[in-house]
A and B are shown apart, each in its own frame.
Chain A
Amino acid sequence: MAVLKKIVLLFSTIFILVASTNTNLIKASLFSLIVELLERDNPYVQVYIDSKEYKDIPKYVKKYKFTQNCLDADILFVDKLSELPKECIYEHKVFVTRYIDFIKNKDKVIGAFFWQKGRPTIIFNKQMLDYFGITLPPKYSKYID
């Protein structure tokens, strides 16, 4: 029975790994989409991530440079906007990971990227898009709020 348990455990672990890898890949692809939409013409994009949700993104996305310094970053993904240095907020494209932060900081954040009810949600802030002079392709206009 011990052997059987080990086998069951092994299979469960593999299943979880595969499943989690799958979720991470979705996150990574949506993350890439966001960066692509916001930094279409910038071949040297630098990304800053301070988010528990997206901390593993660098493992899956290799085409962008990830920086520990928010000042160097073109795009920032943060869980808590309040913990971000002020100089990193303005003139940077900040993405938050909660809807509440999005609606309360519409003058600061360009969008929100979060998971709700198991579904990924991306929302762009029209005001900040305009500020940065970014126009999204029409098919993404429904994500603008």
Chain B
Amino acid sequence: MRYVGLKKYIYFLILIFVMFLLTVFLYLKFDQVVKTTSKEFQNLKIHEAKHNALSISHILSSWIDTSADVLQLLSEDETLRQKIDDLLSAFINDENRYVYVIYEDKDHNFRYLADGSLDENERGFFGQKFFPLEERKWRKAFASDKPTIFMQENIDNLWITMLSPLNIFKNIKSFLVIDLSTTAYQKIKAILLKLKRFLKYLLFFFIVIFLLISFLYFFLYREYRRTFVDSLTGAYNRNFLTQLEKSIDLQKYALAMIDLDYFKLINDLYGHDVGDEVIKKIAKTITTNIRSEDILIRYGGDEFLLVARKNRSEDFKNFFERLHRIINETSTSINDGDRVKITSSIGVNLVPYLEETLSDAIKKADMELYHAKNGGRNRLKFYEEADATIGYLSFNKISQLIKEGNVVLHFQPIFNIRTKKIDKYEALARLKDGDKLYLPHQFLLTIFQTNVYREFARQVLQKAFEMIKKERVTISINFNKSDFADEEYFNTIKELIEKNRAYRQFLVLELLENEELKGDDERILAKIDYFQKSGCKIALDDFGSGYSNFNYFLTMEPDIIKLDGSLITQLNTNPNAKKLIQSIVLFAKHIGIETIGEFVEDEETLRMMERLGIDGAQGYYIGKPKPYLQREPFEIGRRVDTDAA
């Protein structure tokens, strides 16, 4: 299943998830960041303290005779003590909370030498004993005579204590002590905590976004399935084509229209439940035998469109042949334990990239399906590059030509064998593009059942009536029976016929025998009946082949039947063909229907037709279709014009 349009949400979800993980990682690692930052800050402060100690040492060296007994000196000189205290005070700020000098007496007691504390209660007096909390560390520092730093965890508002040796006094070991307050550290920590809080909000944000997108995806997915997936088969439905049209690269695919032969019979014989089961089973069979990148669409009731990706190891034709075989071998069990098998007809467009749009490419596959069905069903037909060179027109091109009024009619004469006169013509439509003329098979299927098709039919009928008005001759026009299932089409034809009511007795609606009448037969037959009653004549084309059968005479009364060309061409060679024609002619005469034989290509056939009592003859022996009306008198046979279209 391809979720065209939904993929971007999945990508977005993945992106959000990755960002979420990244944020979680950062969040978890944040304590490390705080530690590192603290360490850096600590290093900075140590450096600063060393610098301060050095400065103080220099100043003290300049004030005190370092070779003298400093304790003696200070105990006697209060002014000097005050001066040193003031000096230390100068180093006190928000960060350096306490700055003082401690010395170790001969009994290893720590005592204040000087203290810069401004608060009287915090200030240590010269000679006052000092009791550090972590005495061991202090002893170690004094023993090592090296700068020492340690964190203060048990003293409120103090962060770090830094001890820097003052190696200036003789006989006593003294250290400049700076107690750093937590203020600066708290400031940094506050900033870091803000950042951490921001990360927390970001995490929350990602979770919310992730959930929202997940919900959105879920609802879209549900809606997507409702809109684009066929509930019976699980394949896509036709709505999906609009999505596919936007994204498909026709270079990479082949299209196959798959139609189940005589599926209507299954519904009629076993009921719709069994019909549904058959459809489901076939869809499952196809899905099992295609790849995940192939797309199966339920195109109609019993029609599937397979959009198959090309990059497969198997030859494409082999693949479709195998698929055709597998479909035909698929059986569905029905209630009483019996199994139903159904054959399929498949039209494959191997070169969809030659078309401008997916719809055009589908039409080509549909056209091949039409040929497959017309050729007797249960077969595969391929539309290949060679077919494309025949000159099929694109939908847009056809549409443009028709809009510009390039529909032209050629007229093939129908010879009345009895009167030896041309008394009818079959109008055959062509599309003109400059000097080129396109035959119906090059464009008709492409526009079938579209607005363009209706416009085409309107122009054909219009031009036929123009000729009738001008020449007062009977002209037949071909119609598909199913054309009249389309109300709009029917109304277009009806309107034109009404408009030309004075000439409608010259119009013959020739119903092609290329399709079987299905569900809405009665509706179609009623419309045909309407035209007949309004004065038009009805002819059945290709009678004796395809779907034509005598059953039609139970529901409609055609004025003319045109005997199928395949029977006429065998008239002199196949006795059964002759017998069949004899019986059709006999029956037709019995109920007053005119008969016309098609594909008359030689005199011998014409003579035989005359002997059998066939009323009319049409074929190259009589005359090829021409853009004008061919008139007698002419000698039959000599009219064969080899350069005709």
Given contacts A114-B121, A116-B121, contact A121 B157 (CB under 8 A): no
With a 10 A CB-CB cut-off, give which of A117, A119, A145 has the most chain B CB atoms: A117
CB distance from A40 to the nearest CB of B (A): 22
**Please, which residues of chain B bring their CB within 8 A of the CB of A145?**
129
CA distance A143 to B135 in the complex (A): 13
Is the interface on chain A under 10, 10 to 19, 20 to 34, or 35 or more residues? 10 to 19
Q: Does B547 contact A (CB under 8 A)?
A: no
| Chain A interface mostly | mixed
Determine which of B117, B120, B128, B131 lies in contact with A119 in the assembled complex, contact meaning CB atoms within 8 Å.
B131
Residues of B within 8 A of A142 (CB): 109, 129
Assess the B132–A99 pair: CB atoms within 8 A.
Answer: no
Taking A117-B122, A118-B155, A119-B155 as contacts, is the C-beta distance between A143 and B131 under 8 angstroms?
Answer: yes
Q: Report chain A residues within 8 Å CB of B121.
A: 98, 114, 116
Bound CA span A9–B120, Å: 33
Q: How far is the CB of B195 from chain A (nearest CB, A)?
A: 17
Least distance between A137 CB and chain B CB atoms (Å):
16
C-alpha gap A90/B125 in the complex (Å) = 26
A33 contacts B by Cβ under 8 Å: no
- How far does the alpha carbon of A121 sit from the alpha carbon of B109 in the complex, in Å? 13
Check B128 against A99 for contact (C-beta < 8 Å).
yes
In the complex, chain B residues 451-501 whose Cβ is within 8 Å of any chain A Cβ: none
The CA-CA distance from A122 to B121 in the complex, in Å, is 14
Measured between C-beta atoms, what is the minimum distance from A21 to chain B in Å? Answer: 13
A119/B122 contact (C-beta < 8 A), A19-B156, A23-B156, A142-B109 known: no
Q: Contact: A117 with B179, CB < 8 Å?
A: yes
Given contacts A98-B121, A142-B109, is CB(A118)–CB(B129) below 8 Å?
no
Contact pick for B129, options A23, A114, A120, A123, CB 8 Å: A123
Counting CB contacts under 8 A, is A7 at the interface?
no
Residues on A with beta carbons closer than 8 Å to the beta carbon of B179: 117-118
Q: Which residues of B contact A123 (CB under 8 A)?
A: 129
B152: A residues at CB distance < 8 A: 118
A92 to B483, CA, bound (A): 126
Q: How many residues of B contact A (CB 8 A)?
A: 21
Q: Mark B148-159, 1 if CB is under 8 A from A, else 0.
A: 000010011110
In this assembly, does A103 line the interface, its C-beta being within 8 Å of a C-beta of chain B? yes
Encode B123-137 as 1/0 by CB contact (under 8 A) with A: 011001111110000
Q: Quote the shortest CB–CB distance from A106 to chain B (angstroms).
A: 13
Say whether B443 faces chain A, with CB atoms less than 8 Å apart: no
Residue with the greatest number of chain A CB neighbours at <10 A, chosen from B122, B125, B129, B132: B129
In Å, the complex CA distance between A121 and B121 comes to 12
Q: How far is the CB of B141 from chain A (nearest CB, A)?
A: 16
The answer to whether A116 and B129 have CB atoms under 8 Å apart is: no
Q: Is B415 an interface residue (CB 8 A)?
A: no
If over half of B's interface residues share one DSSP class (helix, strand or loop), that class is named, otherwise mixed; here it is loop
CB under 8 Å from chain B, chain A span 117-144: 117-123, 142-143
Asked if B98 is an interface residue, CB under 8 A from chain A, the answer is yes
Interface string of A92-103 (1 = CB under 8 A from B): 000000111001
- Contact check, A121 vs B98: say whether CB atoms are below 8 A apart: no
Which B residues lie within 8 Å of A100 (CB)?
Answer: 120, 125
B225 to chain A, nearest CB (A): 42
Candidates B120, B124, B157; contact of A118 at CB < 8 Å: B157
Contact check, B133 vs A119: say whether CB atoms are below 8 A apart: yes
Closest A residue, CB atoms, query B158: A118
Give per-residue flags for B570-591: 1 if the beta carbon is below 8 A from chain A beta carbons, else 0. 0000000000000000000000
User: Shortest Cβ distance from B75 into chain A, in angstroms?
Assistant: 13
In the complex, residue of chain A having the shortest beta-carbon distance to the beta carbon of B100: A117
Distance from A12 Cβ to chain B, minimum over Cβ atoms (Å): 13
CA distance A1 to B12 in the complex (A): 30
**Using a CB-CB cutoff of 8 Å, which residues 556-600 of chain B contact chain A?**
none
Report the separation of the CA atoms of residues A103 and B131 in the bound assembly, to the nearest whole angstrom: 17
Residues B124 and A116 in contact, CB atoms below 8 Å apart:
yes
**Cα–Cα, bound, A118→B161 (Å):** 12
Flag if B131 contacts A121 (CB, 8 Å). yes
| Residue in chain A with minimal CB distance to B107 | A142
Q: Across the two chains, which residue of chain A brings its CB closest to B131? A: A121
Complex-state Cα separation, A98 to B120, whole angstroms: 10
Q: Mark B17-51, 1 if CB is under 8 A from A, else 0.
A: 00000000000000000000000000000000000
* Cα distance A129–B158 in the bound complex, in angstroms: 34
B102-128 CB mask vs A (1 if < 8 Å, else 0) is 000000010000000100111011001
**Could you jot down 19 A-B contacts, CB within 8 Å?**
A23-B156, A99-B124, A103-B125, A116-B122, A117-B98, A117-B100, A117-B117, A117-B179, A118-B156, A118-B179, A119-B131, A119-B133, A119-B155, A120-B131, A121-B131, A122-B131, A123-B129, A142-B109, A143-B131
19 A-B pairs besides A99-B128, A116-B121, A117-B158 with CB distance below 8 A are: A19-B156, A23-B156, A100-B120, A100-B125, A117-B100, A117-B117, A117-B122, A117-B155, A117-B179, A118-B157, A118-B179, A119-B131, A119-B132, A119-B133, A119-B155, A123-B129, A143-B129, A143-B131, A145-B129
Please list the residues of chain B having a beta carbon within 8 angstroms of any beta carbon in chain A. Answer: 98, 100, 109, 117, 120-122, 124-125, 128-133, 152, 155-158, 179
On A, residues with C-beta under 8 Å from B are 19, 23, 98-100, 103, 114, 116-123, 142-143, 145
The 9 closest A-B pairs by CB, nearest first: A118-B155, A117-B98, A118-B158, A121-B131, A119-B133, A118-B156, A145-B129, A116-B122, A117-B122
